[in-house]
Amino acid sequence: MSVQDWLNERLRYEAAQAVLEKKTVPVHRYAVTYYTGGITLFFFVVQVLTGLLLLMYYRPTSDAAFESVRLIISKVRFGWLVRNIHVWSANAMVGAAVLHLAATFFGRAYRKPRELTWISGVLLLGITLAFAFTGYLLPWNTLAYFATKVGTEIAGDVPIIGRGLMVLLRGGEDITEATLSRFFGIHVAILPALATVLLGVHLVLVQIHGMSHPISVRVTGEERFFPEFMLRDFIVWVVLLGGLAVVATLWPWPLGEKADPLAPAPSGLRPEWYFLFMFQTLRILPAHIAGLEGEVVGVTLFALAGLVLLLVPFLDRWAQRERSHPLVSALGAAAFAFALLMTALALVKGM
Amino acid sequence: MAAKAGELPPNSGKIFAFEGKPAIVLRTPEGEVRAFTAVCTHLACTVQYRADLQHIWCACHDGHYDLHGQVLSGPPPRPLVEYKVTLKGEDVIVSRA
């Protein structure tokens, strides 16, 4: 008996291979958007691998966190590269996830029977942002300290559960070592566990239902997923890995100053680019709106927007009947335009 | 004790810990010493004294407070809570008003 037969008897991989060989990808003029999911997955894998390496040296206490990251980037062999790739890839992963969201939204890929694929995807985007938010504090520098202070304070403005949520996140009233160890636990254990389960569900659903194609687009043919599409996926990943290495080498991510709870907030303080639109919106809202505090109104509206995004497959009745209504596209475009405008305003004001 | 009088020339401020939270003691350009909580009422960033503006400022969302802790502009919804300042020789002592 050959090794191949021995393995096949136990793993039944030929059955999986048969499924893979039958899987096809539609060909049309927007087919390039099919790469966005794979790209997001690629950055996630990079995050897991570089995160594991960082974990060997990182120490989650207020006395040692900053120093341990400094050690990683200055003394540990290739530590600077691993840390820079981790930070750049985190940013790229958020970008890829947002692109993937836009592609699936405007292509109405959430329509029956892929509603649960959409919901698991939106939850994965939420987890990605939670990864970014919790990871940002870990170097324990001044920017991270105040960004976390503001971010958790915003969580405190969520109606009803806000106060409890803020104390739960911080591990108390203030940002302290309890917050750091909590964020560390969430970042390296809770979120990876949630992400693995949800990612598994998301990928299984994609396999069950296959690739969706936009309603009004003419499909000109089909190509095999294995090996044609998969090989091109790999080529994209190799190019991205090269790009990450170049960017991480040429533009190292600064570590900044160690957090000092008694220092005033530094000027020019602003969150990472993916939270800028919320930051700018909260900045321009008046102190009071209809008798309520402006920030409470803003946070409530953002929470509602998140809920609407999650429930899009059930709200878009036209897509359920295989119709692509311009109103849905217009609302989506308006939401993206608003986020872009607020981000641009924050960037201009911050300069 | 929040500061030594010598640490506070006119038109300057200093952050110190008061009951475990940041507080600010400042000397106005006219020479009067005042103290407030340094926790911005908007999103809890730590405020600072801006000598160029001659008032209190929060860098996070550009909140401005006057030298009585009242909101001048920006998103803060409430004024800063003022503390009582006692000068004892060189020592600037701050307590709840």
Angle separating helix axes A294-310 and A276-284, nearest 10 degrees: 140
E strand residue ranges, A10-51: 24-27
Residues from chain B contacting residue A287 (CB–CB below 8 Å): 71, 74-77
Average pLDDT over chain A, rounded to an integer:
93
Interface probe with B: pick from A145, A153, A351, most Cβ of B within 10 Å = A153
Give ∠ CA B59-B65-B67 in degrees, rounded to 5: 125
Residue with tokens 């190019």: A239
CB atoms within 10 A of CB B73: 10
Cα of B30 to nearest chain A Cα, Å = 23
User: Could you write out the DSSP letters of every residue in B31-75?
Assistant: S-EEEEE-B-TTT-PBPEEETTTTEEEETTTTEEE-TTS-EEESS
* pLDDT per position as a tens digit, A5-38: 999 889 888 888 888 888 899 999 999 999 999 9
Cross-chain CB nearest to B43 (options A153, A262, A286): A153
A343 falls within a domain: yes
Q: Is the pLDDT of residue A302 over 50?
A: yes
CB atoms within 10 A of CB A92: 21
Q: Are A133 and A170 in contact (CB under 8 A)?
A: no
* pLDDT per position as a tens digit, A113-164: 999 999 999 999 999 999 999 999 999 999 899 989 988 988 888 888 889 9
* pLDDT per position as a tens digit, A161-201: 889 999 999 999 889 999 999 999 999 999 999 999 999 99
Residues from chain A contacting residue B15 (CB–CB below 8 Å): 262-264
* pLDDT per position as a tens digit, A56-99: 999 999 999 999 999 999 999 999 999 999 999 999 999 999 99
CB atoms within 10 A of CB A246: 11
Q: Which helix (H) or strand (E) holds B15?
A: strand B12-18
A2 falls within a domain: no
Number of domains in chain B: 1
Which ipTM score applies to this complex?
A: 0.81
B22 at interface of A, judged by CB pairs closer than 8 A: yes
Number of domains in chain A: 1
The CATH number of the domain holding residue B20 is 2.102.10.10
Query: Which residues are CB-neighbours of A39 under 8 A, at least 6 positions away?
Result: A96, A99, A100, A236, A237, A240
The Cα A341–Cα A325 span in angstroms is 25
Q: Is the pLDDT of residue A312 over 70?
A: yes
Dihedral of CA B66/A147/A241/A207: which sign?
negative
Interface subset of B 78-97, CB within 8 angstroms of A = none
Q: Is the pLDDT of residue B50 over 60?
A: yes
Cross-chain CB nearest to B58 (options A154, A265, A293): A265
Q: A32: domain range?
A: 11-350
Residue with tokens 């008003």: B97
The CATH number of the domain holding residue A263 is 1.20.810.10
The Cα A93–Cα A51 span in angstroms is 14
B73 at interface of A, judged by CB pairs closer than 8 A: no
3-state SS, A304-337, equals: HHHHHHHCHHHHCHHHHCCCCCHHHHHHHHHHHH
B36: β partners: B24, B82
Chains A, B: CB contacts within 8 A come to: 65
A6 falls within a domain: no
Q: Are B94 and A301 in contact (CB under 8 A)?
A: no
* Model pLDDT, residue B75: 85
Q: pTM of the entire structure?
A: 0.89
Cα of B90 to nearest chain A Cα, Å = 22
Query: Which residues are CB-neighbours of B84 under 8 A, at least 6 positions away?
Result: B35, B94, B95, B96, B97
E strand residue ranges, chain A: 24-27, 221-224, 288-289, 292-293
Q: Which is more confident, A45 or A227?
A: A45
A326 falls within a domain: yes
Token couple for B23:
């507080």
Lowest-confidence region among A166-175, A279-288, B45-54: A279-288
Q: Are B29 and B13 in contact (CB under 8 A)?
A: no
Q: Is the pLDDT of residue A351 over 50?
A: no
The Cα A19–Cα A27 span in angstroms is 20
Residues from chain A contacting residue B48 (CB–CB below 8 Å): 264-265
Cross-chain CB nearest to B75 (options A262, A267, A295): A295
Q: For B72, name the nearest residue in chain A, comparing CA atoms only.
A: A287
Cβ of B16 within 8 Å of Cβ of A288? The answer is no
A195 falls within a domain: yes
Q: B35: domain range?
A: 3-96
Query: Which residues are CB-neighbours of A75 under 8 A, at least 6 positions away?
Result: none
Burial class of residue B50 (count of CB atoms within 10 Å of its CB; 0-12, 13-18, 19+) = middle
